[in-house]
């Protein structure tokens, strides 16, 4: 289960935000660097620009949890969502970027660590 927390960090956490000339180049660079462009271009992925301990806290005191394991953050986070552009293929994945500040919903494991980015609220 700890591996999936590690995957969550790899796929979704970038703090401080990696520098890039613009957000489109940011997405293209980071999606590739984090291994999200092979074997296929991942259609969409959100990077959260906050320290890991703030995200762990969503599963504990800084979030409201419901159902099996979904927790909503009490506070908003800076996010960059990358969406694949038409005509992309592995090795040539092109992304569009959206930057926003929103609350998020994550899935937490039994150790109360975030393991899955569910959605933007």
- Any idea which residues carry the catalytic annotation? 12, 116
In Å, how far are 4, 26, 107, 110 from 72, measured between CA atoms?
19, 26, 9, 16
* Phi, psi dihedrals of residue 27, rounded to the nearest 5°: -60, -50
Question: Which DSSP symbol is given to 58?
Answer: G
For the sheet containing 44-48, what is the strand order?
Answer: 44-48, 77-84, 95-102
């Amino acid at each position: 289960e700890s591996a999936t927390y590690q995957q969550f960090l790899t796929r979704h956490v970038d703090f401080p935000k990696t520098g890039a000339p613009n957000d489109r180049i940011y997405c293209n660079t980071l999606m590739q660097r984090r291994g999200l462009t092979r074997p296929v271009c991942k259609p969409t992925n959100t990077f959260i620009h906050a320290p890991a301990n703030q995200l762990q806290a969503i599963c504990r005191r800084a979030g409201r949890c419901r159902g099996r394991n979904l927790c909503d953050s009490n506070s908003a986070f800076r996010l960059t969502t990358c969406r694949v552009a038409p005509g992309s293929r592995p090795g040539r994945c092109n992304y569009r970027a959206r930057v926003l500040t929103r609350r998020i919903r994550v899935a937490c494991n039994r150790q109360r660590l975030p393991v899955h980015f569910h959605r933007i609220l």
